[in-house]
Amino acid sequence: MSLTHRRAVALMVLVTLLWSIAGVVARHLEAAAGFEVNFWRSAFNALALGIGLTVLRGPGLWSGLLRAPRIVWISGLCWAVMFTAFMLAITMTSVAMVLVTMALGPMVTALFSRFFLGQRLPLRTWVAIFVAGLGIAWMFGSDMPAGGQLLGSLVACAVPLAAAVNWTLLQKTGQALEAGPDMLPAVLIGALLSALCTLPLAWPLQATGHDLGLLALLGVVQLAIPCLLVVTLTRVLPAPEIALLALLEVIFGVAWAWLWANEQPSASVLLGGSLVLLALVFNEGLALRRRPASGVAAAGSV
């Protein structure tokens, strides 16, 4: 499908909206916890991706996985780390620490794009990255744990690092358009690896039928659909812009918890969230002024 930059940004906002439901849905689980949540979420994700990609690519998808280029498997490993490290970090340190650590994502992605892709980022993007990171830190600064909890923080660092590598890889292949390898199966590889790695740690399984319904929702709606969308969007949006827009997941997540889990956000959360939104509006507003609204930024196909 062909996308203008404006439509691609709108789709990326939808992606972050879908990603953001994980926390509020998990609050309504009855018995499943920890690694079991990650296992079922990744397993349902893999099932949905397997069905969807088989329809899109045909039965040759599965034999093609083994013959996929190395870059597809590297991207799949990045997806697996992203799917798994977040949940593992949550079990080792506070949610606030994990979210603050993930705010490093746009900066790391921008640096990777600069050094590995040779992209010269405009000043507005650097300013937006800094302000958004400051807003995330402000939002959760009052909830930071007193102890070091170093190991949990190091595990949390794997999320923005893996995401930065992944967005950069996808950007590199996306620049090749039709000549590049098919990167959609990488999401399936990541889901399969994540499920296989966490199954032994999740055993014995405790999820109820109610839990399985919610975890299926997470696997399909919260992971499979938005992850396939974001792979396509890397053909249109620069990697640093994707990482910056992805910070909306934190804002939406707070809103879901406020509306559906009775978690009243503090003044620091509201102020920090306002800084993030201001940074995003500032960056996207200037981008649109410098780009014809009717022009097609790039084209991709799924």
Given a contact cutoff of 8 angstroms between Cβ atoms, the answer to whether 44 and 218 are in contact is yes
Q: What is the gyration radius of the CA atoms in the chain, in angstroms? A: 19
For residue 272, how many C-alpha atoms fall within 13 Å in the half-sphere facing its CB?
25
pLDDT category at 299 given cuts 50, 70, 90 is: very low
Instruction: State the pLDDT at residue 291.
Output: 55
Residues 132-167 have pLDDT tens digits of 778 777 766 655 554 545 677 778 889 888 988 888
To which residue do tokens 């910056």 refer? 244
In the chain, alpha helices (H) = 5-19, 22-26, 35-57, 60-66, 70-92, 95-102, 105-116, 123-141, 150-174, 184-202, 209-217, 225-233, 239-245, 248-260, 267-289
pLDDT for 210-232, tens place per residue?
Answer: 999 999 999 999 989 998 898 88
Three state DSSP letters for 160-193: HHHHHHHHHHHHHHHCCHHHCCCCHHHHHHHHHH
Q: How far apart are CA 201 and CA 33, in angstroms?
A: 11
Residue 113, classified by CB atoms within 10 Å of its CB into exposed (0-12), middle (13-18) or buried (19+), is buried
**In the chain, domain spans:** 2-296
128 pLDDT band (50/70/90 cuts)? confident
Is 93:156 a contact under the CB 8 Å cutoff? Answer: yes
What is the rounded CA–CA span in Å between residue 21 and residue 217? 10
Name the 3-class secondary structure at 234.
coil
One-letter amino acid for residue 167 of the chain: W
Handedness of CA 220, 19, 12, 98 (dihedral sign): negative
pLDDT for 48 beyond 90: yes
Percentage with pLDDT > 90 across the chain? 20
Q: Is the pLDDT of residue 97 over 70?
A: no
* Residue 221 DSSP label: I
Q: What is the C-alpha separation between 236 and 287, in angstroms, rounded?
A: 13
How is residue 89 written in tokens? Answer: 């970090």
Inform me whether the pLDDT recorded for 94 exceeds 70.
no
Kindly tell me if the per-residue pLDDT of 177 is higher than 70. Answer: no
Q: What is the DSSP code (8-state) at residue 302?
A: -
Q: Which residues pair with 298 in a beta bridge?
A: 3
Look at the chain and count its residues. Answer: 302
What token pair was written down for 294? 């009717």
pLDDT band at 209 (very low <50, low <70, confident <90, very high): very high
